[in-house]
Amino acid sequence: MDTIFATSSGRPPAAIAVIRISGPRAFAAAERLAGVLPEPRRASLRALREGDTLLDRSLVLVFPGPATATGEDLVEFHCHGGRAVIAAVEAALTRIEGLRLAVAGEFTRRALANGRIDLAEAEGLADLLEAETEGQRRAALDATEGRVSLAIRGWMDRAAMLSARVEAMLDFADEDDVDSDAAAFAAIRAGATELAADIATVIDAPPVERLKDGLRVVIAGPPNSGKSTLLNLLGDRDAAIVSPISGTTRDRIDVPVTRRGIAYVLTDTAGLVGTDDPIEAIGVARAEDAIRLADIVLWLGDARPPRDDAIWVHARADVVGRENVPAGRAFAVAQADCGSGERVWGALHDRAIGMLPHDDALALKREQRLRCADAIAALRDPTNDPLILGEALRQARMALAAILGLDATGEMLDALFIRFCIGK
């Protein structure tokens, strides 16, 4: 296997740059530049040289495998973080036989291959690197620290115990100490049903994608109801054209916003109106689709909202004749009212809290939830045949094992690790 290296710290220039080397020739390569290496896991200052040329003075740390981040011998140079220093050290490493620059995510991929982490932890690390809000950070850290993996392995262990009881019924039915009657089979069936219910409780919780992708908030209503004005107010920028001319907005306008640690995507839509204009009709159809798929709808019309769970806002309250808030509206908003935006954000935050994973909840990704659903379907198989039940339990274990990457394909791993930077 090749020995790989890369700069694992932030983009230079910086105060410190961490250059990692991992693989069977890591120690030999480090000795080539730093001379005698320090004791394992003890930082020591060394002069890095290529021949007679001084490259830098660096802290050197040595980590013997397999108890390392990658499961291999690993060395870190903590150099000065200038571009020229990094380039010089990397160039010197390139000229050592058997070494090459790592590709994106290769250090973490080796950790997965060597059993230092599982697929759920690797996916959590990818999400942690991309986290932009506090909720995203917490959910990703849960996965990275093995909380998701611990739950999955616990479910797998329970399924395995049930499988063992079924196998005992099938293989040793004639033994006196093995239960094989209807009561014993019913107990195993009950155990499978209970396990399915426990898994279902987790996957029925709010999805983690809402933390990452943001809650979809659609601002909807008839033409000239103040939708674009409200979008600009909430987004704190002129994202949409505001005009008294009907039909100014003909397509969706998305504005990502992070507020109080929660990510949102605000969407302005075309006014809902019957029209013979084919272009305007397309905009209306897209608005209706957006309303249907939205997590939250802000409705600015005077007619009842198209969804019962919409937040019904009394818009344009500064217009003569609209000063009073009619029954059924949550509150009033007006362009000249400085408190309008805060009222809307308060309502959105209150709604969002119930739609996002709680801090103590186990949040699963979409693919993980689908695998869990497969396991639930197998566990709820209504069969009365022990042989079929044994196969169903095996299928449930396989579905759960896939979450940990025990059957991960090369294509799946390529798609994951391309999200990583070089050096991670």
Highest mean pLDDT out of 9-18, 29-38, 179-188, 279-288: 29-38
Distance from C-alpha of 29 to C-alpha of 3, rounded to nearest angstrom: 9
Residue 181 has pLDDT above 80, yes or no: no
How far is 188 from 179, CA to CA, in rounded Å?
A: 11
Structure-token match 């005009």, residue found = 243
Residue 144's φ and ψ, nearest 5 degrees, are -65, -40
Query: Residue 140: helix, strand or coil by DSSP?
Result: helix
- Answer yes or no: is pLDDT of 240 > 50: no
Residues 6+ positions from 22 with CB-CB distance below 8 Å = 3, 4, 5, 68, 69, 70, 72, 73, 74, 75, 102, 107, 110
Partner residues linked to 80 by β-bridges = 16
Residue 216 φ/ψ, nearest 5 degrees: -85, 110
pLDDT-based confidence at residue 142 (cuts at 50, 70, 90): confident
Q: What is the mean pLDDT of the chain?
A: 86
What secondary structure does DSSP assign to 243-268, as a single string?
A: -SSTT---S-EEEEEEETTEEEEEEE
Instruction: Find the mean pLDDT for residues 217-222.
Output: 92
Which tokens sit at 68? 């390392």
CB atoms within 10 A of CB 119: 24
Domains delineated in the chain: 3-113 (3.30.1360.120), 121-206+363-405 (1.20.120.430), 222-353 (3.40.50.300)
| pLDDT tens digits, one per residue of 338-389 | 788 899 999 999 999 888 887 777 888 889 999 999 999 999 988 888 889 9
Residue 13 in this model has a pLDDT that exceeds 60 = yes
Residue 180: pLDDT band by 50, 70, 90 thresholds? low
Q: Quick one: pLDDT band at residue 243, thresholds 50, 70, 90? A: very low
Interior CA angle at 266 toward 246 and 358, to 5°?
150
Distance CA 271, CA 124 (A): 40
* SS3 state of residue 75: strand
- Please report the pLDDT score of residue 173 as a whole number: 59
Q: Which tops the pLDDT comparison, 182 or 285?
A: 285
User: What pLDDT, on the 0 to 100 scale, is given for residue 241?
Assistant: 43
- Is residue 327 pLDDT above 70, yes or no? yes
* Residue 178 scores a pLDDT above 70: no
H or E segment at 190? Answer: helix 182-203
Q: Which residue has the higher pLDDT, 158 or 424?
A: 158
Res 69: pLDDT: 93
pLDDT of residue 89: 96
Digit-coded pLDDT (tens) for 57-116: 999 999 999 999 999 999 999 999 999 999 999 999 999 999 999 998 899 999 999 999
Which carries the bigger pLDDT value, residue 378 or residue 165? Answer: 378
State the pLDDT at residue 272. Answer: 82
Rg, Å, the chain Cα set: 29
Contact between 26 and 40 (Cβ < 8 Å): no
pLDDT over 90, % of the chain: 49
Alpha carbon distances (Å) from 2 to 78, 99, 207, 293, 340: 22, 6, 39, 48, 61
Q: What single-letter amino acid sits at 423?
A: G
